[in-house]
Amino acid sequence: MITVDAHARYGRDQACRALDIVLEEAQAGRARMRMRVTDAMANLHGIAHGGYLFLLADAAFAYACNATEQANVAHAAQVTFLRPVEVGEELIAEACARIHYGPHGVYDVTVRRADGEVVAEFRGHSVQSARRMPIQRATA
């Protein structure tokens, strides 16, 4: 399920759209995104550059923590790379809220190959922004 607001935000998400990162699920506290590793994403070893894995996980984190009218931004994030990823592989990032306290939240994101093997773990810390999310209005 993708909320109407998340769908509208994805339409404005130039970074994800430019890299063909697909939003598959986005609802309160959860999100799932998918990306295929391209030749342009390879590092000097010929495997996926860790920055692209971080970006995929960070994007899922962003959609999971912005499911309300209150805008949330990353306060801190950390990733652990567990296995190398080859060019051509498809990756799935699943984000899940762990805890909220005041204006803060903690989210975990697991990045897997299409066959389910875990390749990276990401933890993101969010904080509410003073900025409000744009309200989506129905069009006639």
Distances (CA, A) of 91 to 66, 69, 120: 22, 29, 10
Domain segments of the chain as ranges: 4-132
| Selection from 15, 84, 96, 98 nearest residue 56 by Cα | 15
pLDDT tens figures, 54-101: 999 999 999 999 876 778 999 999 999 999 999 999 999 999 999 999
Domain 4-132: homologous superfamily in CATH:
Hotdog Thioesterase (3.10.129.10)
> What global pTM score does this model have?
0.90
